[in-house]
Amino acid sequence: MNNKIFLSPPHMCGNELKYIEKVFESNYIAPLGEYVNKFEESIKHYTGAPYALALSSGTAALHLALRILGIKDGDDVLASTFTFIGSINAILYERATPVFIDSDQESWNLSPRLLEEYLSTAVKKPKALILTHLYGQCADIKKISEICQQYEIYLIEDAAESLGATYDNKHTGSFGDFGIYSFNGNKIITTSGGGMLVSHKKEWIEKAKFYSTQAKEPFIHYEHLEYGYNYRMSNVLAAIGVAQMEVIEQRVNQKRTIFNWYKKYLGNVDEIQLMPELEGSRGNRWLTTVTFEKTNFNKIMEALASINVESRPLWKPMHMQPLFKDVKCLVDGTSARLFQSGLCLASGTFMIEENVKNICNIIKNNLDI
């Protein structure tokens, strides 16, 4: 393997350049335009979300969701602890307080049992929950949604990693009050950088659009009653997104095929467990992830690096981060165990079965069994 195999590199192979050229021909190199509208329409059509807003990042989408829902200084916002910090930073932007909930073993995502346990005993009622669909795999979203409705808290789905994943044939991001997607360079489709905010409420998306364009009032001059942000997506990047959305199902199918190759070569190894998939769900398998019973994952990473293959530890849970050492949480050790024993394996959609077979042979030859 002479050429490096990255974890999840961008995959351009369709109409990206053609649409970018059309943008240049129009000279509309701006944070709005024809392809921004087309990209929003493609997301709505694919996910079933009635309203969508193309933005500069998934984090920007989370921030706007919290702002629209009235989250403010001192409010508690529940969140998955087993996640990337981008899921949490927006809570800090609004000076609210994150409260972390641990994962379950069945999905590696937020535990409905622990969520209900926290809410049933909480002295201070949280205002919202940011739920991450980890590594493209669905959380137990139906149970979690029911719990949020029961306790009257807003549900924001962080589907940054899970575009194309479904539960009971319904897309992640479309269950909650808001959903967000990310198009960062390593996601299942990419615009280089960007995000999308979706919702069932038109007025919320319209207000988010207002805030995302500096909160300019409808005057001929620049008039401001509220503060806003520069959060809209470029027309150039949206052109890439439109082309990428044309092949989203191909990307999901290939990611799932790559997972199945890993399962073929590693699934019967007792030392290794692959990330589970809830019954009734279809994950996009953005990254194939595994845990080891006895083997130190650093040993596996070093062995893979020696053949020019990238791998990465699982997310370090937020409640274990120094930044959040004094933050409230309800944990039972699940995410900590996953972090201490787990690894993300190369899952790029250019990969062929021979690549996966070679990676698996390296892994099996370096197990402590």
Q: Tell me: do 122 and 22 sit in the same domain.
A: yes
Q: What percent of the chain has pLDDT over 90?
A: 97
Q: What percent of the chain has pLDDT over 70?
A: 99
CA 128, chain centre distance (Å): 18
Burial degree of 68 (CB within 10 A; 0-12, 13-18, 19+):
buried
* Residue 61 predicted with pLDDT over 90: yes
Residue where the block lists tokens 């024809």: 34
CATH number for the domain spanning 327: value is: 3.90.1150.10
Q: Tell me: do 107 and 43 sit in the same domain.
A: yes
Task: List Cβ<8 Å contacts ≥24 apart for 36-43.
Answer: 36/232, 36/233, 36/234, 36/235, 36/238, 38/238, 38/242, 39/191, 39/196, 39/233, 39/238, 39/239, 39/241, 39/242, 39/245, 40/196, 42/241, 42/242, 42/245, 42/246, 43/181, 43/196, 43/198, 43/245
Q: Are 366 and 347 in contact (CB under 8 A)?
A: no
Q: Tell me: do 235 and 355 sit in the same domain.
A: no
Q: Is residue 5 part of a domain?
A: no
pLDDT digits (tens, 9 = 90+) for 89-137: 999 999 999 999 999 999 999 999 999 999 999 999 999 999 999 999 9
Helix (H) or strand (E) holding 254: helix 248-266
> pTM of the prediction?
0.97
Domain boundary among 226, 245, 264: 245
2 pLDDT band, cuts 50/70/90, is: low
Q: Tell me: do 332 and 198 sit in the same domain.
A: no
Q: Tell me: do 184 and 261 sit in the same domain.
A: no
* Residue 263 predicted with pLDDT over 90: yes
Q: Report, as an integer, the average pLDDT of 164-183.
A: 98
Q: Is residue 7 part of a domain?
A: no
Q: Is residue 2 part of a domain?
A: no
Q: Is residue 10 part of a domain?
A: no
Rounded distance between C-alpha atoms, residue 297 and residue 342, angstroms:
6
Q: Tell me: do 293 and 224 sit in the same domain.
A: no
Q: Is 248 helix (H, G, I), strand (E, B) or coil?
A: helix
Q: Tell me: do 219 and 300 sit in the same domain.
A: no
- For residue 323, the enclosing domain spans 248-365
Q: Are 111 and 334 in contact (CB under 8 A)?
A: yes
Q: Tell me: do 208 and 85 sit in the same domain.
A: yes
Give the number of domains in the chain.
Answer: 2
Q: Is residue 38 part of a domain?
A: yes
Q: Tell me: do 225 and 171 sit in the same domain.
A: yes
In this predicted structure, what is the pLDDT of residue 31?
A: 84
68: which 2 tokens? Answer: 């629209």
Rounded distance between C-alpha atoms, residue 220 and residue 250, angstroms:
46
Please name the residues in contact with 12: beta carbons below 8 A apart, sequence gap of 6 or more.
240, 243
Q: Tell me: do 229 and 290 sit in the same domain.
A: no
Q: Is residue 49 part of a domain?
A: yes
Q: Tell me: do 194 and 298 sit in the same domain.
A: no
pLDDT digits (tens, 9 = 90+) for 202-216: 999 999 999 999 999
Q: Is residue 336 part of a domain?
A: yes
Q: Tell me: do 217 and 330 sit in the same domain.
A: no
Total residue count of the chain as it appears in this document: 369
pLDDT digits (tens, 9 = 90+) for 313-351: 999 999 999 999 999 999 999 999 999 999 999 999 999
DSSP calls for 105-153: TTTSSB-HHHHHHHHHH-SS--SEEEEE-GGGPPP-HHHHHHHHHHTT-
* Residue 1 predicted with pLDDT over 80: no
The chain-wide mean pLDDT, for the chain, equals 97
Q: How many CA atoms lie within 13 A of 73 on its CB side?
A: 0
Domain boundary among 245, 268, 283: 245
Rounded distance between C-alpha atoms, residue 355 and residue 1, angstroms:
8
Q: Is residue 8 part of a domain?
A: no
Q: Inter-axis angle of helices 248-266 and 353-365, to 10 degrees? A: 40
Domain boundary among 183, 215, 245: 245
Rounded distance between C-alpha atoms, residue 253 and residue 137, angstroms:
14
What distances in angstroms separate CA 148 from CA 96, 97, 142, 155, 353, one per listed residue? 19, 18, 10, 7, 42
CATH number for the domain spanning 201: value is: 3.40.640.10
**What single letter denotes the amino acid at residue 127?**
K
